[in-house]
Structure 1
Amino acid sequence: MITRVTHQSAQRTSLANLQANLTKMSTLQAQASSGKVINKASDDPAKAAEAMALRKEQRAADQYARNTQDGLSWLTTVDTAITSSVNFMQRARDLVVQGANTGSLNREAREAVAVELEGIRDALLGQANTTYIGRSVFAGSSNGPAFAADGTATPTFGPVERRIGAATTVRVDADGTAVYGSGATSVFALLDDVAARLRDPADNVSDALSQIDDRIRSMLSVASSVGARTNQLTSAQATLSSQSLSLKSDLSGVEDIDLAQTIIELQMQEVAYQAALGATARVLQPSLMDYLQ
């Protein structure tokens, strides 16, 4: 049995093939110009879903990286303030040792030591109210300064934390009362008391040395905790940087074209399209009279 192929069916077949070739060539041109395999979800739904999932992970990793950098800035500010405070306290200790030598200092010399201690007290209050981008690093999540002018700590509402992973948060501030004390037990009250006692020639302030040493140890203890958290954030930063590069590579593998391969395919498709144009032209060429003959 011989299958009958009409001129009209041959035209439809040729035009359909021509359109298919043109569509494929258009797709390759879009990929070559954009550099992406997927220009819309319908191009490859499975790969589009994979790319969306990778982009979601990438956005999360980028946010964690920003949180980590912000946390490092907070902790660096805290560490600098505590280091400066320890230095001030060491100077205060030297002055107390000097002031305890009652037989070698006259009234004017003791007054000078007292005035310097009061200056150190004010400098420590400034360190205790250190801020980062307008937020006190020793006041927790509360607004305003960590300490009032009289050295009393203001109420706090909780620690400042930064999320650096799906299930990991790190505290980036420090408890001001752990560093400086508060009220009558604060370092400010201690230095005020020593300065007042120095103005009494009969008073020996040597007993204040142990209190100063206790406060220095408290400061160093908090500084050690800050250092540990800084190391944690530094490690997380390195991990997130590596993760970000890995996600970029994975996304590129899903979305990006092989440029050389795409150009070759485009050239081949252009040749096929030109051939299809020639074949279609021949099919459409006969007239009605040619067909009737």
Structure 2
Amino acid sequence: MLSLNTNAAALSTQSALANSQKALTTSMTRLGTGYRVNSAMDDAAGLQIATRLNAQTRGMAVAQRNTQNGISLMQTAEGAFSEVTDILQRMKDLATEGANGTASTDDKTAMQSEYDALGRELKNVMDNTSFGGQSLFATGTNAAAVTGGTSTLGKTGGVTFQIGASASETMTTNVSASVAGLTNDGGTLGLASAAYKTTATAATVGTEIGAAATITLLDNALKDVGTVRSALGASSNRLDHVYNNLANMSTNTTAAKGRIMDVDYATETSNMTAKQMLLQAGTSMLKQSGSMSQMVLSLMQ
């Protein structure tokens, strides 16, 4: 039907032109930002899923840092105990030498002097080894929380690491009993050295009988150090596996989020080209639709 009042062709073309322009704007926005979903209107369900995946990914990234910090803490402790082991081995050498009847009084005096110096260094290592400003062991009443201390590895309940994105994903390393039995005044280090412990102890290398007894005390100290080192090493190995698993989960979770949020440039470029052509065609047809009124006037001539 030819009509002057209603140009149906122009109205249809305008509607198609508006749709093409809207689709072209969406394509250009996606190509400009690199994201397929730029607002909830683009994909409401996809945005909700991607937000949850992003929260999980970020949580796992922080958990990875936590595991690395945990390993660093325990490696710091392990390094200190490695030095303690070397000191105890030297102290045992001196005790073994002092238990031999060939040593003179002057020899034993020199041995005792070195032995005491090593004992003082044991206390120095235990008191001053720290991580992030917090003492790892301490000595005496500060060796464990059961006696009111504040050392990181000595506190009751152990150290808890957050190793995942959810609150339930934690790992606890509890060596407080072993650390307290080793480092406090009544522990095996204190029994093995009067210089470590502030009060008198039977440990000495100045006599043959005393040196022989000290060998046993040092053997006990070495065994206790080995127990703590073993526990710390096992926890460090576990944290290393935790890190590897988090890396795997993070990689795949990030890929899943990318499939939802990221734009496919090949597809979207094709869409933009098609919408540009439709916009050009629509504009041309809108111009041509004006000729419909001219046809009405030609009938009236």
State the TM-score, normalized to the length of structure 1: 0.85
Q: Which amino acid aligns with 2:20?
A: N
Residue 179 of structure 2 corresponds to residue 187 of structure 1: no
Matches within 5 A, 1:277-288: 277-284=283-290
Q: What are the ranges of 5 or more consecutive residues in structure 1 without an aligned counterpart?
A: 139-145
Distance across 1 between alignment mates of 2:276 and 2:82: 71
Contact 1:36 1:256 in 2 (8 A): yes
Q: How many residues align?
A: 281
The equivalent position to 2:217 in structure 1, one of 193, 201, 211, is 211
Shift of 1:43: 1.0
Say if 1:151 and 1:183, in contact at 8 Å, map to a contact too: no
Selected match of 2:267 from 255, 261, 277: 261
Deviation of the 1:127 alpha carbon: 2.1
Counterpart selection for 1:119 from 109, 117, 131: 117
Corresponding residue number in structure 2 for 1:108 = 106
Q: Distance in 2 between matches of 1:20 and 1:53?
A: 32
Identify the residue that residue 143 of structure 1 maps to in structure 2. Answer: none
Per-residue displacement from partner, 1:236-286 (whole Å, max 9, x unpaired)?
110001111101111111111221111111111111110000001122466
RMSD: 2.7
Give, as a single letter, the amino acid of the residue that structure 1 aligns with 2:149: P
Q: Secondary structure at the match of 2:211?
A: coil
Q: CA shift at 1:190, angstroms?
A: 2.3
Alpha-carbon shift at residue 20 of structure 1 (Å): 0.9
Cα contact 2:139–2:183 (8 A) shared by 1: no
Sequence identity, in percent? Answer: 22
- What SS does the aligned partner of 1:119 have? helix
Deviation at 1:215, TM superposition (A): 1.1
How do residues 15-164 of structure 1 correspond to structure 2 at under 5 angstroms? 15-101=14-100, 103-129=101-127, 130-138=129-137, 146-147=138-139, 155-156=149-150, 157-158=155-156, 159-164=158-163
1:245 to 244, 248, 251: 251
Q: 1:137 to 1:123 in 2, by over 3 A?
A: same
Q: Deviations over 1:154-197 (max 9, x none)?
A: 62443222111343423357437346342144413421167974
Residues 269 and 197 of structure 1: is their aligned pair in 2 closer, same or farther, counting only changes over 3 Å? closer
> Residues 100-144 of structure 1, C-alpha deviation per residue, up to 9 Å, x if partnerless?
12x322222212111111221122122213111211222xxxxxx
Distance 2:245 2:123 in 1: 38
CA distance 1:147–1:272, change in 2 (3 Å): same
Aligned partner of 1:142 in structure 2 is: none
Kindly state the Cα deviation for residue 56 of structure 1 after the two structures are TM-superposed: 1.2
Looking at structure 2, the residues matched to 291 and 173 of structure 1 have their Cα atoms a distance apart, in angstroms, of: 94
Q: Tell me if the contact between 1:93 and 1:209 (Cα under 8 Å) persists in the aligned partners.
A: yes
- 1:75–1:173 Cα contact (<8 Å) kept: no
Give, in whole Å, the separation in 2 of the partners of 1:237 and 1:81.
Answer: 24
Superposed CA offset, 1:76-114 (max 9, x none): 11111111111111111011111112x322222212111
The structural deviation recorded for 1:198 is 4.0
Aligned CA distance change for structure 1 residues 31 and 252 (closer, same or farther; 3 Å): same
Q: Aligned match of 1:225 in 221, 231, 255?
A: 231
Does structure 2 conserve the Cα–Cα contact (< 8 Å) formed by 1:128 and 1:180? no
Mapped partners of 1:174, 1:126: distance in 2: 20
- Helix, strand or coil at the partner of 1:205: helix
Unmatched 5+ residue regions in structure 2?
195-199
Give the Cα–Cα distance (whole angstroms) in 2 for the partners of residues 99 and 194 of structure 1: 17
Under a length normalisation based on structure 2, what TM-score does the superposition of the two structures give?
Answer: 0.83
Matched AA of 1:127:
V
Name the counterpart of 2:197. none
1:96, 1:206 within 8 Å by CA — same for their partners in 2? Answer: yes
Matched residue type, 1:183: D
